Amino acid sequence: MTNRTETSGMPEAGIFNIEKIRNDFPILSKTIHGKPLVYLDNAATTQKPQIVIDSLVEYYTSMNANVHRGVHHLSEVSTKAFEDSRIKIKNFLNANSDKEIIFTRGTTESINLVASSYGRANFKAGDEIVVTAMEHHSNLVPWQLIAKEKNMTIKVIPVDDNGELILNELENIFSEKTKFAAINFVSNSLGTINDVKKIIETAHQYNVPVLLDAAQAINHLPVDVQKLDCEFLAFSGHKLYGPTGIGVLYGKEKLLDAMPPFMGGGDMIARVTYNESTYNELPYKFEAGTSNIADAIGLGVAIDYVEQMGIEKIAMYENSLLEYATAQLQKLDGLKIIGTAKNKCAVISFIFDTIHPHDVGTFLDFEGIAIRTGHHCTQPLMHRFGIPATSRASFAMYNTKDEIDILINGVKKVIEVFK
């Protein structure tokens, strides 16, 4: 069997113990179609370390009770674990207060919360929302919904052929009419790390609040909401080695405080009569109904795991994988990389003129290699590049140079078979 932990030749491989890391993720020792799994679909979701999986079992085995409402022991224990996780997230993002950390189902729900709650309260006909040309549908469709309802316009920061935003255009895009900016931090299709700091600074010159879609940034880069000075930031637990079904909305307390609730129900109220209600304080005003308690706790454990590795070290290691994979892929006949920005992380999209991405993905699957093919929920961006889809390999801290070699060999076979 191939040794998938081979890292020789990687100058950064010594940054951490890759063999130990791989042993922490039980799924990585699986075989697929008789071949050892090479999991390169991390932008879609990351695999989970055993301690995260154990935390879910532990929760349901010894702590399960609803939070906030109980005086009994189990409720106190689960409430403490749930709120401790919120504090870990607050520290991870360097937020000012745990009131600024709202548990949601994921990035998509976080963005919908802001579009619906902030948008309904603050937008009016003729206002404009700024997005980038590389938004995931999750950071575009919610804004289209509110724009349609309020008769507003969406303005798009364009992207150049390398996959970099054309920031010279900012002064033509922002104006007195701009009332919100919803900006992709790292592109899931191109890997581009956007200069969000510059966009935020420009937006603030027009008193425009900014939401960052950090779904693809959170597991690759240090994210400090105070340094960034963004008004809102959204991410999903499952892309940060945590469980599915849990995510986070960060919002500046002053803005969240002024926003109306997104959903009504238990936990988000202070006082209820048959005709009206007053609402709970932050963050509970935005957490109607029973939260996803176990997965919120699991996300806290995932953050502990990432912090133990160190996000800077993870970034450095993943960059070495990206550089190596890019250099190898570039050598292949007829292969074109889509997304060649100077500042990139962990994602390589590629196409062939004559081979459809789905054929690439299906062929590689038989080699045990999991990549993603399609439009990656960025149809307007695919349109901008004049392509229907790409093949995308995306890396995480547990991937190795040896796995990239297997990918390259797999792609060589694809070329051979389809030429």
Which residues on neighbouring strands pair with residue 217, listed in sequence order?
Answer: none
Among residue numbers 256 through 285, which ones bind ligand PLP (CB under 6 A)?
none
CA pair distance 196, 207, nearest whole angstrom: 16
How many residues sit in the footprint of ligand PLP (CB under 6 A)? 12
Using CB under 6 A, pick the residue from 5, 7, 79, 108 that binds ligand PLP: 108
The alpha carbon of residue 385 and the mean position of all alpha carbons in its chain are separated, in whole angstroms, by 23
Q: Which stretch binds ligand PLP (CB under 6 A): 27-35, 101-109, 254-262, 295-303?
A: 101-109
Q: 199 vs 406, which CB is nearer to ligand PLP?
A: 199
Q: 78 vs 216, which CB is nearer to ligand PLP?
A: 216
Least distance (Å) between residue 196 CB and ligand PLP: 12
What are the tokens at 171? 């002064």
CA pair distance 110, 234, nearest whole angstrom: 6
E strand or H helix at 278: strand 277-279
Q: Which stretch binds ligand PLP (CB under 6 A): 18-26, 208-216, 290-298, 395-403?
A: 208-216
CA pair distance 331, 27, nearest whole angstrom: 31
Amino acid letter, 341 = A
Cβ-proximal residues to 377 (8 Å cutoff; 6+ apart), any chain? 136, 137, 138, 188
Among residue numbers 210 through 249, which ones bind ligand PLP (CB under 6 A)?
213, 215-216, 236
Least distance (Å) between residue 139 CB and ligand PLP: 6
For residue 269, give Cα distances in angstroms to 181, 263, 279, 283, 289. Answer: 30, 11, 4, 11, 10
Least distance (Å) between residue 266 CB and ligand PLP: 24
178 binds ligand PLP (CB under 6 A): no
Q: Are 333 and 374 in contact (CB under 8 A)?
A: no
Q: Which of 145, 156, 377, 415 is catalytic?
A: 377
46 binds ligand PLP (CB under 6 A): no
Q: Which stretch binds ligand PLP (CB under 6 A): 155-163, 209-217, 350-358, 386-394?
A: 209-217
Q: 7 vs 291, which CB is nearer to ligand PLP?
A: 291
Q: How many other β-carbons are positioned within 10 Å of the β-carbon of residue 272?
A: 12
Helix boundaries (H) for 269-339 = 293-309, 311-330
344 binds ligand PLP (CB under 6 A): no
Q: Which stretch binds ligand PLP (CB under 6 A): 83-91, 100-108, 121-129, 222-230?
A: 100-108
Q: Is 345 assigned a catalytic role? A: no
107 binds ligand PLP (CB under 6 A): yes
188 binds ligand PLP (CB under 6 A): yes
Q: Are 69 and 199 in contact (CB under 8 A)?
A: no
Least distance (Å) between residue 126 CB and ligand PLP: 28
Q: Are 367 and 351 in contact (CB under 8 A)?
A: no
Least distance (Å) between residue 108 CB and ligand PLP: 3
Among residue numbers 131 through 160, which ones bind ligand PLP (CB under 6 A)?
136, 138-139
Per-position DSSP letters for 366-409, written without gaps between them: HTTEE-EEE-TT-HHHHHHHT-S-EEEEE--TT--HHHHHHHHH
Q: 78 vs 378, which CB is nearer to ligand PLP?
A: 378
Burial class (CB in 10 A: 0-12, 13-18, 19+), 226: exposed
Q: 35 vs 384, which CB is nearer to ligand PLP?
A: 384
163: left (phi over 0), alpha (psi -120 to 50) or beta: left
Least distance (Å) between residue 249 CB and ligand PLP: 11
97: left (phi over 0), alpha (psi -120 to 50) or beta: beta
293-309 and 73-93 are packed helices; what angle lies between their axes, rounded to 10 degrees?
Answer: 40
Least distance (Å) between residue 388 CB and ligand PLP: 18
Least distance (Å) between residue 372 CB and ligand PLP: 9
Q: 7 vs 108, which CB is nearer to ligand PLP?
A: 108
106 binds ligand PLP (CB under 6 A): yes
Q: 117 vs 184, which CB is nearer to ligand PLP?
A: 184
Q: 374 vs 388, which CB is nearer to ligand PLP?
A: 374
141-150 and 107-122 are packed helices; what angle lies between their axes, rounded to 10 degrees?
Answer: 20
The DSSP secondary-structure symbol of 310 reads -
Tell me the catalytic residues: 377
Q: Which residues bind ligand PLP (CB under 6 A)?
A: 106-108, 136, 138-139, 184, 188, 213, 215-216, 236
